[in-house]
Amino acid sequence: MKAAVTTKAGIPTVIEIKEVIKPEIISGWVLIKVKAFGLNRSELFTRRGYSPGVQFPRIQGIECVGVIEDDPSNTYEKGQQVAAMMGGMGRYFDGGYAEFCLAPLEIVIPFKSGLRWSKLGAIPEMFQTVWGSLNQALELSAGEILLIRGGTSSIGMLACQIAKSMGVTVISTTRNPEKIKRLRDNGSDHVLIDNGSITVPLNHLFPEGVNKILELIGTKTLKDSLKCISNKGIVCMTGILGNEWAMDSFSPMDDIPSLGKLTVYTGESKNISSELLQKFIDSVENGSISLNIDTIFKLDEIRQAHEYMESNRAQGKLVVELDN
């Protein structure tokens, strides 16, 4: 089969398109004929060699969508549509950057849809992350106020649409004033320009602060976000767009307001059910959710796709669609 193999840690040219042996089925796993997959920032870190325990050569890709090619457990029929994500996929075992992918049953979720594969490919990891962050980590409910820090990211844009559908007031941030209209068109009630500190403009809008914050920039802005929560508010750090893994100093008694809560979300496929995934796919199909897809690449273009993601020029999800 054709696969994009990350031959060693390094720049995008370490990924090579190769003919490799198609994986052999093993008990407890399914063989998926890959139709499409979304690209994820964590794959940049893995490619650079920053994911602990990952050995090269490795077929990367923490998610994919496709059809069942073989399932010895007979849980799924040949040809059934499925998504697979996380659980070590593309890190500790070969992932979605290939014509076929062997995945353990527990990370596979079935669905039915007439959507194009390129759209379906954008969904699994993005939806799981947004749904888990908003519902499981932030326990978001109608009438609340949500600040999305890193609002123009794919995760941020989808989080805004889902929060609005739940009856939540949304404030989104961007560093770039030219993106204000895009955020407004996507449903944000308010947009703030983020230069690293937004407490003053936020307090003008909401003097008591906001009760929920989705932190996608990460450690760079986390302390400032903690200053923005109202009484008993929650900050969930889900992203690390600022590219800084650790903080120089963190003093919980000073940095977390009394009764405030700080959590993180690093989700798995088990955080969503097949019913939730199906409901979300249906809402994309009926137009109530609009996916922000920037570019659809071919498998042969995987190096360009990595370079593009690294350049930060994308304004939406990047997807690879296979020809098979």
Ligand X SMILES: NC(=O)c1ccc[n+]([C@@H]2O[C@H](COP(=O)([O-])OP(=O)(O)OC[C@H]3O[C@@H](n4cnc5c(N)ncnc54)[C@H](OP(=O)(O)O)[C@@H]3O)[C@@H](O)[C@H]2O)c1
The answer to whether residues 14 and 295 touch, using CB atoms and an 8 Å cutoff, is no
Q: Given the complex with ligand X, which of 309 and 322 has the nearer CB atom? A: 309
Q: Kindly state the tokens that stand for 147.
A: 């600040």
Q: Least distance from C-beta 85 to ligand X, angstroms?
A: 9
Cα–Cα distance for residue pair 148/166, rounded to 1 Å:
15
Residue 256 Cα to chain centre, angstroms: 26
Neighbouring C-beta atoms of residue 24, cutoff 10 Å: 9
Q: Least distance from C-beta 131 to ligand X, angstroms?
A: 11
Q: Least distance from C-beta 232 to ligand X, angstroms?
A: 23
Q: Least distance from C-beta 206 to ligand X, angstroms?
A: 21
Name the nearest CA neighbour of 82 among 29, 143, 132, 39. Answer: 29
Cα–Cα distance for residue pair 46/63, rounded to 1 Å:
14
Q: Given the complex with ligand X, which of 124 and 233 has the nearer CB atom? A: 124
Q: Given the complex with ligand X, which of 176 and 231 has the nearer CB atom? A: 176
Q: Which residues bind ligand X (CB under 6 A)?
A: 40-42, 125, 129, 150, 152-155, 174-176, 179, 216-217, 238-243, 265-267, 312, 314
Q: Kindly state the tokens that stand for 164.
A: 């609005």
Q: Given the complex with ligand X, which of 31 and 109 has the nearer CB atom? A: 109
Q: Given the complex with ligand X, which of 14 and 148 has the nearer CB atom? A: 148
Q: Least distance from C-beta 241 to ligand X, angstroms?
A: 4
Q: Given the complex with ligand X, which of 230 and 290 has the nearer CB atom? A: 290
Residue spans of alpha helices (H) in the chain:
41-48, 117-121, 124-131, 154-165, 180-185, 199-205, 219-226, 252-255, 274-285, 302-311
Residue 198 Cα to chain centre, angstroms: 24
Q: Least distance from C-beta 185 to ligand X, angstroms?
A: 14
In the DSSP assignment, the letter for residue 174 is E
The answer to whether residues 25 and 102 touch, using CB atoms and an 8 Å cutoff, is yes
Q: Least distance from C-beta 243 to ligand X, angstroms?
A: 6
Name the residue with the smallest CB distance to ligand X: 239
Q: Given the complex with ligand X, which of 42 and 186 has the nearer CB atom? A: 42
Cα–Cα distance for residue pair 116/316, rounded to 1 Å:
17
Q: Least distance from C-beta 70 to ligand X, angstroms?
A: 29
Q: Least distance from C-beta 156 to ligand X, angstroms?
A: 6
The answer to whether residues 67 and 35 touch, using CB atoms and an 8 Å cutoff, is yes
Phi, psi of 49 (to 5 degrees): 95, 15
Cα–Cα distance for residue pair 40/55, rounded to 1 Å:
19
Q: Given the complex with ligand X, which of 40 and 186 has the nearer CB atom? A: 40
The answer to whether residues 109 and 82 touch, using CB atoms and an 8 Å cutoff, is yes
In the DSSP assignment, the letter for residue 319 is E
Q: Given the complex with ligand X, which of 49 and 242 has the nearer CB atom? A: 242
